[in-house]
Amino acid sequence: MTVFLSQSFTGISIGAVLLLIALGLSLTFGQMGVINMAHGEFIMAGAYTTYVLQQSIGGAGVSLLLSLPLAFLVAGAMGVLLEWLLIRHLYARPLDTLLVTWGVSLFLQQLARDIFGAPNVQVRAPEWLTGNVRLIGGEHPFTLAHNRIFILALALAALVSLALTLRVSPLGRRIRAVVQHRDLAEASGIATARVDRVTFFIGSGLAGLAGVALTLVGPIGPTMGTNLIIDAFLVVVVGGIGRLRGAVIAAFALGVLQAVVEYSATVSVAKVTVLVGIVAFLQWRPQGISTLRTRSLV
C-alpha cells in the first residue's frame, strides 16, 4: 500500500514537470498551430542555466532560487529569438514549421554538446531539499521527498500565475483573442505580432522552469528534452488543445500511470501501457478531455 502511495507521489511530481512543459507547449501551439520541436531544448537551456549558475556562484540554495527567474528569462529569450528569426515567416505553413523547429532542436543539442560536453552533468541539490517528510512510519514508510514537494509547488505556482494571467489580465485577453481569431484581433487594433512574441516568451520560459525542476531529480544532458517533449505533446493532445484544465488532468494522470506501471513492470512496459491507453482514450474521445462549447464556427 505505502509502496503504491510512494510511486503515486513520484508520478505526481513527474506529472508536475510534464505540466510545466505542456503548458508552454500548448501556449505556443495555440499561436502557430503546430508543435515547436525545439521546445525540449528550452528545457535543456533552463537546466544548464541552473548548472552554470551553481558553477559560478557555488551555494546550491541561492543558485537554485536565482536560477528560477534566470532560466525563465534565458529560455524565454530563446523562444522569442526563434519566433522572430524563423517561425513568424512560416505562419500558416505547419509542415515547414515542424521541420525548421526540428532542425533548430538538433542544432541546439549540438551547441550544448560543444559548450558543456556530451556526458551528463549533475547539479547539487541544496540541503533543504534533500530530506523528506515521513507521513507513515514503521516498516514500510510512506515519505514525501522535499525536492518532489518543491517541484509540485513550483508547477502549481506556475499554473496559477498562468491561469490568472490568461483569465483576468489585458495581456491574457489579447493572447486568447489572437489564438481564437487572428485577423479579427489585428482588425480590432491589437498588435498581433507583438502578442505572438510575448506568448512565445511565456511558453518558452515555462520550459525553462521545467528544466530547473529536472536538475533536482537527476543528471542533465544535451538530449534531455527529446523524450520529455513527446510526453508533453501527449499531455497536450489528451488534455484537449488550448485547455488548461484538460492539460492539468492529463499531466498528472500520465505521470502517475507511468510511475505506477513502471514499478510493477519495466520502463518499456510502462511506456507501451501508457501509449495503448492514450490510443484507446483518443478513439473514445478524439477531442481530448476538455472541449469548447460554441455556436460559432470561427
Partner 1 sequence: MLEIDGLTAGYGRSTVLHGVSLTVPAGGVAAVLGHNGAGKSTLLRAALGLLKPQRGTVRLDGEDVTRLAAHQRVRRGMAYVPQGQQSFPQLTAAENLRLVADGHRDGRAAMAEALDLFPVLRELAGRPAGLLSGGQRQQLAIARALITRPRLLLLDEPTEGIQPSVVAEIQQTVLDLTAGGALSVLLVEQHVHFALRAAARYYVLEAGRVTSSGDNDGGAAERVREALSV
For 243, other C-beta atoms within 10 Å of its C-beta total 19
Question: Taking a C-beta distance cutoff of 8 angstroms, is the pair 91, 24 a contact?
Answer: no
Residue closer to partner 1 by CB (options 193, 275) is: 193
CB closer to partner 1, 269 vs 292: 292
Q: How far is the CB of 237 from partner 1 (least distance, A)?
A: 19
Of 191, 269, 272, 279, the one binding partner 1 (CB under 8 A) is 191
Q: Kindly state the number of chain residues that form the binding site for partner 1, as judged by CB under 8 A.
A: 24
Closest among 219, 225, 235 to 275, alpha carbons compared: 235
Binding pattern for the stretch 127-166 against partner 1, x by CB under 8 A and - elsewhere: ----------------------------------------
Handedness of CA 48, 49, 50, 55 (dihedral sign): positive
Helix (H, G, I), strand (E, B) or coil at 137: coil
Of 181, 217, 273, 282, the residue at the interface with partner 1 (CB under 8 A) is 181
Q: Which of 116, 186, 241, 278 binds partner 1 (CB under 8 A)?
A: 186
Candidates 119, 138, 189, 286: give the one binding partner 1 (CB under 8 A).
Answer: 189
174 interacts with partner 1 by CB under 8 A: yes
Q: Which is nearer to partner 1, 1 or 298 (CB)?
A: 298
With a CB cutoff of 8 Å and minimum separation 6, the contacts of 34 are: 94, 97, 98
Tally the residues of the chain. Answer: 298
Rounded-to-integer distance, Cα 282 and Cα 62, Å: 44
Q: How many CA atoms lie within 13 A of 67 on its CB side?
A: 34
Take residue 224 and report the three cell numbers written for it.
534531455
Among 120, 161, 188, 264, binds partner 1 (CB under 8 A): 188
List the one residue from 36, 97, 192, 290 that touches partner 1 (CB under 8 A): 192
Q: Cell 501551439, residue?
A: 29
* Binding span for partner 1 by CB under 8 A among 38-46, 47-55, 92-100, 171-179: 171-179
**Interacting residues with partner 1 between 279 and 298 (CB under 8 A):** 292-296, 298
Burial bucket for residue 223 (CB in 10 Å: 0-12, 13-18, 19+): middle
The contact set with partner 1 (CB under 8 A) reads 170, 173-174, 176-177, 180-181, 183-193, 292-296, 298
